[in-house]
Structure 1
Amino acid sequence: MESVQKNFLRRRRAIRKKHRRLAGGYVTRVNRMGVIEHRPRRSLGRITIMPLVLLAAMFLAFKAVLYVQLGEEAYLSHLDNLTTGSAVERAGAMVMQIDPVTERVLGLIETHL
C-alpha cells in the first residue's frame, strides 16, 4: 500500500509542476500521433532584454543631459569631488565618467540645441 501512495504522490507532484510551468504561457501542438499537447513556452527568464536596454539608454541620456546642463568644467569638478569620497562615491564617479557612447550622445544632443 505504501508504494501505491508514493507512486500517487510522485504523479501528483509531476502534474503540479507541469501546471505551474504552463501557467507562464504555453504552446499547443499536435504530435505525430495526432494528440494535442500543451508545452510550456520557452523563456529567457523573468528579466527580458528590452527593459535593460531601455534602462541603459535612459542612463546614457541622463549623463549627457547633465553634462550639457552643467558644462564641461563643472561636470568634471563634480567628478573630481566624487573620486575623493567614499567607496560608493568613487563607484559613482566611475559610472558617470564620459565614455565613447556618452560622447556620441552628447554630439547628438548638441547638434539639436
Structure 2
Amino acid sequence: MSETLFHFDKRVNRIARKNRKLARGHVTFIDRTGLIRQRPRRGLAGVPLRGLMLIALCFIGFKGLLIAHQGPVQYEDKLALLAEGTIFEQGAAWAMQIEPASQIAARFLAPLL
C-alpha cells in the first residue's frame, strides 16, 4: 500500500512541476499521433539585456566624468602609465581608453564641473 502511495505522490509532484513550467509559457503542437500537446517554453539562461545596458551606460558615464575632470591629455598620460603595469592593469587601460561615447559624455559633463 505504501509503495502505491509513493508512486501516486511521485506522479502528482511530476504533474505539479510540469504545470508550474507551463504557467511560465508554453508551446502548443500536434504530435505524430494527432494529439494536441503543450510543452513548456525553454527559458533563456542569459543575463538580462537591460542590466547589461545599464552597466555599460554607467561605465561610459564614469569614464566621461574622469575625462571631464582631468582633461583628455592628463587622462591619456595616466592610461599610458597604467598600460605599462601588470596584465590586469593593461586590461584596465584597454577598457578605460577614450572612445566616442565617453568623449560625448565628457563634453556634456564638463560644464557641470
TM-score by length of structure 1 reads 0.63
Please list every run of 5 or more consecutive structure 2 residues that lacks an aligned counterpart in the other structure: 1-6, 30-36
Contact kept, 8 Å, 2:25 with 2:41, in 1: the verdict is yes
CA RMSD in angstroms, aligned pairs only: 3.8
Structure with bigger RCO (C-alpha 8 Å, 6+ apart): 2
Q: Could you tell me how far 1:100 is from its partner in structure 2?
A: 1.6
- TM-score, with length taken from structure 2: 0.63
CA contact (8 A) 2:63 2:102 kept: yes
| 1:34 counterpart residue number | none
The unaligned stretches of length 5 or more in structure 1 are 1-7, 32-36
Superposition map of 1:15-30 within 5 A: 15=14, 19=17, 22=20, 26-27=24-25
Q: Contact conserved, 1:25 with 1:41, CA < 8 A, in 2?
A: no
Q: 2: distance between equivalents of 1:85 and 1:24?
A: 53
| Correspondence list, 1:1-113, <5 A | 15=14, 19=17, 22=20, 26-27=24-25, 40=40, 42-110=42-110
CA distance in 2, matches of 1:86, 1:23: 48
Taking only the aligned residue pairs, the percentage that are identical comes to 26
